[in-house]
């Protein structure tokens, strides 16, 4: 055990039906990119919504 951390050794983490570890790595990278893009677009949508609500509130207060 390195440094006495007692971390178990992982040989291979796979996706159901995919046996090639390189393909699994590529699929995980693509899934990460897709999740990042989804999160970024949701953030932009939220910012747009807050700006819109703020604009409407300003016009109602005036």
pTM as predicted: 0.66
DSSP H helix total and E strand total for the chain: 1, 0
pLDDT above 70 for 20:
yes
Q: Which residue has the tokens 């390195």?
A: 2
Residues 28-48 have pLDDT tens digits of: 899 999 999 999 999 999 999
Q: CA–CA distance from 59 to each of 24, 45, 55, 56 (Å)? A: 52, 21, 6, 5
């Amino acid at each position: 055990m390195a440094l006495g951390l007692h971390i178990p050794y992982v040989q291979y983490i796979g996706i159901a039906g995919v046996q090639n570890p390189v393909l699994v790595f590529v699929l995980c990278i693509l899934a990460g990119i897709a999740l990042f893009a989804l999160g970024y677009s949701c953030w932009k949508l939220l910012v747009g919504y807050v700006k819109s609500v703020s604009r409407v509130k300003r016009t109602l207060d005036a």
